[in-house]
Structures are given as C-alpha cells and as structure tokens.
Amino acid sequence: LLVESGGGLVQPGGSLRLSCAASGFRMDYYSIGWVRQAPGKEREEVSCLSVNADLSYTADVVKGRFSAIRDNARKLVYLQMDSLKFEDTAVYYCAATYGECPGRIDGYPHWGQGAQVTVDP
C-alpha cells in the first residue's frame, strides 16, 4: 500500500514536499517512482529512486528543482519540489516496482491514490 500526502496550493517559485508512506512490503527491495499527470496530458515520470542508487532517475524537466529521497527504515519516500512553476500543476503519484527502475510508467504495478499539486498565484 502506498499513501501520498503533502499536496496543496502554492505560488510560483514556492516549495512543497510530498511524502509517500509504504506498508505491506519491504521497501528496500523496491524502486519508488514519482509520476505526475496534468489535466489533459499523459502521465509523466519525474523521478525514480532505484534500489541501486547509481541507477536512479530524474527527468530533465524537473532536474535541479525536484529531489527525491528515500528513508527505508521509516518506509517513507519524499519528493522535495522547489522553484515550482505553473506547469508543475498535476496530480502526483508514487509508484513502486520490485527491483530496478522499470524505465517505463506501465512498469510500476503498485500505485498510491495521488496528491494534487496546484501552482497558481
């Protein structure tokens, strides 16, 4: 089970931190991704934290602004979002897959319910 929290309304240039709480599985065996979907657009993977840190991934569109951190002991994953832009408005999902990052969105079999992030003055 994956449960996101921390979404909300923020002004452009502001920051938010999303949390993803995992339960029911050994999170240290799983790669955790953050996928977003803006209204009228396809889902977009913004980050994947691999079981192998060297194979983690951050999308160019958020690189330098977003950072993902995992705390396996607490079974939590965070997405720190800074310098937010209007185009970052979306529902953000955390997703999990056993082993390495899947390299494609449909490679995640486990999904949270999503958290709305709205960037608007």
**pLDDT tens-digit readout, 41-99:** 999 999 999 998 777 889 999 999 999 999 989 999 999 999 999 999 999 999 999 99
DSSP the chain: -EEEE--EEE-TT--EEEEEEE-SS-GGGEEEEEEEE-TTS--EEEEEE-SSGGG-EE-TTTTTTEEEEEETTTTEEEEEE-S--GGG-EEEEEEEEESS--SSGGG--EE---EEEEE--
pLDDT band at residue 29 under the 50/70/90 scheme:
very high
